């Protein structure tokens, strides 16, 4: 039997190169080998954006187009909307009965994100976000979860929940494992440790060639290299970090050329934009097809959500039986 993948994103804006190297590239690579489920986590978007639900319909479609553009094939990957799969909400409630508040309070990702958002207090939903993520992963009995490095503690937590459930009741759930992409955390264009929508330091998969060139030209480089003839220090340069990821064949030569000032930042950046645009061009082509046919995007989501609901129904029947909740 094929293994199963579950992974996804919060629809809070367009996807970027960090998503690509952290998780999307693995999803595309593995969709032939694994039965793949891709969740658009709209409920989890509300953990931080509950005041702006009106953005969700547009964001859900945008993320779907990003998936299709990147090469996820709806024939192989089931793309679905979280809030339309009620079994996930049911599982979240059942798991909440045996997870303590202190365990959630000490979750490292929750702590980091609460600080990032400046929360003094937090909603019940935000604190319980890892529980709901465990429900996402286990509702279809996924065993592999391709994610960026920041998500690894959540997957570990989901694994613990599955194990605890299996011990408490019956061995119904699969214990998932995280799979981190080639680059678990891509730096931001501004030199920040993480490219992130909420930090505004991203190259989006939907950016035009000109936008890519413009953003790369503004990217932070070695601050000690003010003039063209100053010697460079590639190891502190953001653009060099990108070259390592997106233009690995050029890195050895570039390192030497930068350190000896044989190449300047302007040329180095040109090489990088060209490489990034070559990566993004086929995505642009695929995206154009879906942009032209919004109905097709909707049909893909409806079919995917339907299939997810069927899988959810199977799992919840077993879960209810294991928990003695199958009364009639
Ligand atoms: P937000 O700022 O709204 O939290 P985000 O840009 O951090 O958005 P998420 O939706 O939180 O993106 O993350 C979705 C997936 O992409 C996760 O698996 C996450 O680990 C991965 N990911 C996000 N940013 C990066 C990055 N810079 N490098 C590698 N992986 C990333
Ligand atoms: Mg995030």
Find the ligand nearest to 181 CA. 1
pLDDT of residue 208: 98
pLDDT of residue 197: 86
pTM passes above 0.75 = yes
Give 272 Cα–ligand 1 centroid separation in angstroms.
Answer: 22
Q: Which atom of ligand 1 is least distant from the CA of 48?
A: 3
Q: Which atom of ligand 1 is least distant from the CA of 21?
A: 29
Q: Choose which residue among 25, 39, 72, 150 to substitute to test ligand 1 binding: the one with the highest number of ligand atoms within 8 A of its C-beta.
A: 150
Which residue's CA is minimally distant from atom 25 of ligand 1? Answer: 18
Give 196 Cα–ligand 1 centroid separation in angstroms.
Answer: 6
Which residue's CA is minimally distant from atom 14 of ligand 1? Answer: 9
Give 77 Cα–ligand 2 centroid separation in angstroms.
Answer: 23
Give 10 Cα–ligand 2 centroid separation in angstroms.
Answer: 8
Three-state SS sequence of 120-184: CCCCHHHHCHHHHHHHHHHCCCCCEEEECHHHHHHHHHHHHHHHHHHHHCCCCCCCCEEEECCCC
pLDDT of residue 321: 98
pLDDT, averaged in runs of 10, over the chain (328 residues): 94 96 96 98 95 97 98 98 98 98 92 90 95 98 94 94 98 97 94 90 98 97 94 96 97 97 97 98 97 97 98 98 97
Q: Choose which residue among 38, 44, 196, 202 to substitute to test ligand 1 binding: the one with the highest number of ligand atoms within 8 A of its C-beta.
A: 196
Find the ligand nearest to 39 CA. 1
Residue pair 135/95 in contact by the 8 Å Cβ criterion: yes
pLDDT of residue 116: 85
Give 186 Cα–ligand 1 centroid separation in angstroms.
Answer: 9
Distances, alpha carbon 100 to alpha carbons 37, 94, 131, 138, in Å: 29, 13, 10, 19
pLDDT of residue 80: 98
Contacts of 230 (CB under 8 A, 6+ apart): 224, 261
- Residues near ligand 1 with C-beta < 6 Å? 9-10, 12, 18-19, 21-23, 147-148, 150-151, 184-186, 194-198
Model confidence over 196-233: pLDDT tens digits?
988 889 999 999 999 999 999 999 999 999 999 999 99
Q: Choose which residue among 14, 22, 133, 137 to substitute to test ligand 1 binding: the one with the highest number of ligand atoms within 8 A of its C-beta.
A: 22
Contacts of 292 (CB under 8 A, 6+ apart): none
Which residue's CA is minimally distant from atom 26 of ligand 1? Answer: 18
């Amino acid at each position: 039997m094929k293994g199963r993948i579950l992974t996804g994103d919060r629809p809070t804006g367009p996807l970027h190169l960090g998503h690509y190297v952290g998780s999307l590239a693995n999803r595309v690579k593995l969709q032939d080998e694994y039965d793949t489920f891709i969740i658009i986590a709209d409920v989890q978007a509300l953990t931080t954006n509950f005041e702006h639900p009106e953005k969700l319909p547009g964001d859900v479609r945008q993320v779907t187009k990003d998936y299709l553009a990147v090469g996820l094939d709806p024939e192989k990957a089931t793309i679905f909307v979280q809030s339309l799969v009620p079994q996930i909400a049911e599982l979240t409630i059942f798991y909440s009965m045996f997870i303590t508040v202190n365990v959630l309070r000490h979750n490292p990702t929750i702590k980091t994100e609460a600080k990032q958002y400046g929360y003094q207090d937090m909603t019940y939903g935000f604190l319980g976000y890892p529980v709901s993520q465990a429900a996402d992963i286990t509702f279809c009995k996924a065993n592999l979860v391709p994610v960026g490095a920041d998500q690894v503690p959540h997957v570990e937590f989901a694994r613990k929940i599955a194990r605890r459930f299996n011990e408490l009741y019956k061995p119904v759930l699969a214990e998932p494992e995280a799979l981190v992409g080639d680059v678990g955390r891509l730096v931001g264009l501004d030199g920040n440790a993480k490219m992130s929508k909420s930090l505004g330091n991203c190259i989006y998969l939907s950016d035009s060639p000109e936008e890519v060139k413009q953003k790369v030209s503004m990217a932070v480089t070695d601050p000690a290299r003010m003039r063209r003839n100053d010697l460079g220090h590639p190891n502190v340069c953001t653009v060099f970090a990108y070259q390592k990821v997106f233009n690995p064949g050029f890195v050895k030569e570039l390192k030497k050329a930068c350190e000896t000032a044989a190449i300047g930042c302007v040329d180095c950046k040109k090489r990088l934009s060209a490489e990034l645009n070559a990566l993004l061009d086929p995505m642009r082509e695929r995206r154009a097809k879906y942009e032209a046919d919004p109905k097709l995007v909707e049909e893909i989501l409806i079919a995917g959500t339907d299939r997810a609901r069927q899988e959810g129904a199977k799992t919840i029947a077993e879960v209810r039986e294991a928990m003695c909740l199958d009364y009639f």
